[in-house]
Structure 1
Amino acid sequence: MTLYIDPPMWPGHGRMWSHLVSDVSFEELHAFAARMGLPGRAFDGDHYDVAEGAYGEAVRLGAVEVSSREVVRLLWGAGLRRRKRRRS
Structure 2
Amino acid sequence: MALLIDSPVWPWRGRRWSHLVSDVSYDELHAFVAAELGIPRRAFQGDHYDVPEELHEVAVAAGAVPVGSRELLSRLAAAGLRVKKPRPPQRRGTAGG
What TM-score bracket applies, with the shorter chain setting the length?
Answer: over 0.9
Query: What is aligned with 1:32?
Result: 32
Query: What is aligned with 1:51?
Result: 52
SS in 1 for 2:24: coil
Size of the aligned set, in residue pairs, is: 88
TM-score (norm 2): 0.84
1:62-81 equivalent positions in 2, closer than 5 A: 62-81=63-82
Task: Please list every run of 5 or more consecutive structure 2 residues that lacks an aligned counterpart in the other structure.
Answer: 90-97
Percent identity for Structure 1 against Structure 2: 59
Give the whole-Å Cα distance in 2 for the aligned partners of 1:16 and 1:85.
Answer: 24
- On the 8 A contact 1:21/1:75 being kept in 2, the answer is yes
- CA shift digits 1:12-50 (9 cap, x unpaired): 011000000000100000000101101223211100000
List 4+ stretches of structure 1 deviating above 3 A: none
SS in 1 for 2:45: coil
Task: Please list every run of 5 or more consecutive structure 1 residues that lacks an aligned counterpart in the other structure.
Answer: none
SS in 1 for 2:19: strand
Higher RCO (Cα < 8 Å, 6 or more apart): 1
